[in-house]
Amino acid sequence: MKHTLLALTLLTLITPTWAETLKAKLDNGLTVIVREDRRAPVVMSQIWYKIGSMDEKVGKSGLSHALEHMMFKGTPTVPSGEFNRRISALGGSLNAYTSATETVYHENIAKQHLPEILKMEADRMANLNFSDKDFINEMKVIREERRQNIDDNPSGNMYEQMLKLAYDKPANQTAVIGHMTDLFKLKAHDLRDWYKKWYAPNNATVVIVGDVNAQQTIDLVKQTFGHLPAKKLPKRNDSSETNTQQKGAEVIMGGNTKQPMFLLAYRVPTLQKLDDKMPYALDMLANILNGHSAARLDKKFVRGMALALGLDVGYTMIDRQAQLFSVSGMPSERGNLTLLRKGVEAEIALIARDGVSEEELNRAKAIEKANEIYSRDSMAAQASLIGTLEINGFHHDDEAEIRRRLDEVTAQDVQAAAQFLLKQRDVFVQLYPENHPEVAKAKAKIKQKSHKKRK
């Protein structure tokens, strides 16, 4: 399993040879990329703001995600709820998401309605005007969203604990939705200030893919957004992490689960420049461990020894935030968390010692290439990959070079990636049902340590 769309489609995306892609930068700093794809009379429009949870301050977590919600609450010309209603009336669909590094708004609609979409996006880039009442109501929704996705969700709960243990800096430790204590303290003026600081053309990228003329569409974006003024952007948080090879951390926790679960994660680098070798090798190692039904972890621990009900591997190669190479899973009745951890670590150590066969490597690459064909029809995937590359300091044309370098990863590179993992700081999070004996033991140890400190 990969945690981002980029990781799913980086190798799997081939654009039509007849498509033209143009890029322009407006005088106000807005970046625009348009790709022609005329196979259907529709268009995918995305606007990427380079702002996410890693840019927030301690005590103000959840700002970026909360602002994403409020962006649908109106301007003087498009009242609250009207944005969604208009898109639906035009036969389109829309959504948005916030991550640690960006906030993205996207619409899929018939091509003739693109001017209206862009007009509304430009309007809310500069003229957001939500009421205090809308803010109060929406914060109730967001707090409930946190309860569902983190507090009462085993995977979300583990992931938040993993971030706290894996990283040293608050910019990397906070779940995107924010801490519950902060969600009760945020005020409407906090979101308005956040909006004024970061929502600006020089902090945004517009990506359009569809049945359009690329140059004419760039001209349309200029006409629609060109009058908006640039802003002086605040200094961003330093999210760089050190001490990646220091001793790791473990935690045992109880939660809303009937079956024990675990997360094993290693701090690893992301792609900073095209000729970095380790990120490509880590990506291919993830595929060999868990990229298909014949991959090592599934073959050995799920279908072979039947120690696990499921295992997943995650790694995001391109991101401006520090990243983790993670393995998560759930033991079967025959297995347990300790046994699974040792098994996963032993498998990585085996690759570090003996490497992988050319047949195994080629199988992983062949599956990636097969996915290329299936991804050609997705305008959303094309736009998301373009946006991801551009927002992280790459150029959309780098797609082909990144794909080529991934395809050139050798068995020796994969072996080196496994050797690298074994040296890295690791985190092991164990989640048990709340009444499990292991949870009671863990709580007793914490209580004992606390008692010794008081003495």
378-389 tens-digit pLDDT: 899 999 999 999
User: Domain 21-226, what fold?
Assistant: Cytochrome Bc1 Complex; Chain A, domain 1 (3.30.830)
pLDDT score for 57? 94
Q: 226 or 12: whose pLDDT is higher?
A: 226
Model confidence over 325-353: pLDDT tens digits? Answer: 999 999 998 889 999 999 999 999 999 99
Model confidence over 23-47: pLDDT tens digits? Answer: 999 999 999 999 999 999 999 999 9
pLDDT score for 452? 62
Model confidence over 104-160: pLDDT tens digits? Answer: 999 999 999 999 999 999 999 999 999 999 999 999 999 999 999 999 999 999 999
| The domain made up of 249-444 is a member of CATH 3.40.50.10490 | no
pLDDT score for 43? 98
- Model confidence band, residue 178 (pLDDT cutoffs 50, 70, 90): very high
pLDDT score for 12? 40
Mean pLDDT of 215-225: 98
Phi, psi of 25 (to 5 degrees): -125, 120
Model confidence over 400-452: pLDDT tens digits? Answer: 899 999 999 999 999 999 999 999 889 999 999 988 888 888 888 777 766 56
Three-state helix/strand/coil letters over the chain: CCCCHHHHHCCCCCCCCCCCEEEEECCCCCEEEEEECCCCCEEEEEEEECCCHHHCCCCCCCHHHHHHHHCCCCCCCCCCCHHHHHHHHCCCEEEEEECCCCEEEEEEEEHHHHHHHHHHHHHHHHCCCCCHHHHHHHHHHHHHHHHHHHHCCHHHHHHHHHHHHHCCCHHHHCCCCCCHHHHHHCCHHHHHHHHHHHCCHHHEEEEEEECCCHHHHHHHHHHHHCCCCCCCCCCCCCCCCCCCCCCCEEEEEEECCCCCEEEEEEEECCCCCCCCCHHHHHHHHHHHHHCCCCCHHHHHHHCCCCCEEEEEEECCCCCCCCEEEEEEEEECCCCCHHHHHHHHHHHHHHHHHHCCCHHHHHHHHHHHHHHHHHHCCCHHHHHHHHHHHHHCCCCCCHHHHHHHHHHCCCHHHHHHHHHHHHHCCEEEEEEEECCCHHHHHHHHHHHHHHHHHHC
The structure tokens 């939705």 sit at: 177
Model confidence over 80-93: pLDDT tens digits? Answer: 999 999 999 999 99
pLDDT score for 263? 96
- Across the chain, mean pLDDT equals 91
Q: Where are the domains of the chain?
A: 21-226, 249-444
pLDDT score for 194? 98
pLDDT score for 239? 86
Cα–Cα distance measured from residue 98 to residue 105, given in angstroms and rounded to the nearest whole number: 9
Residues 6/384, Cβ–Cβ less than 8 Å: yes
The structure tokens 């399993």 sit at: 1
Model confidence over 307-329: pLDDT tens digits? Answer: 999 999 999 999 999 899 999 99
The 10 Å CB-count burial string (b at 16+, else e) for 369-405 is: eebeeebeebbebbbbbbbbbbbbebebebbeebbeb
Mean pLDDT of 393-398: 95
- Model confidence band, residue 296 (pLDDT cutoffs 50, 70, 90): very high
Mean pLDDT of 188-199: 98
Angle at 363 between CA 362 and CA 368, to 5 degrees: 95
Fold matches, 21-226 and 249-444: yes
Burial class (CB in 10 A: 0-12, 13-18, 19+), 139: buried
Q: Is the full-model pTM beyond 0.85?
A: yes
Q: Which are the contacts of 157, defined by CB distance < 8 A and separation ≥ 6?
A: 150, 151, 253, 255, 256, 431
pLDDT score for 425? 85
pLDDT score for 245? 63
Q: What angle do helix axes 358-375 and 278-290 make, rounded to 10 degrees?
A: 90
pLDDT over threshold 70, residue 246 = no
Mean pLDDT of 357-378: 81
Cα–Cα distance measured from residue 266 to residue 366, given in angstroms and rounded to the nearest whole number: 27
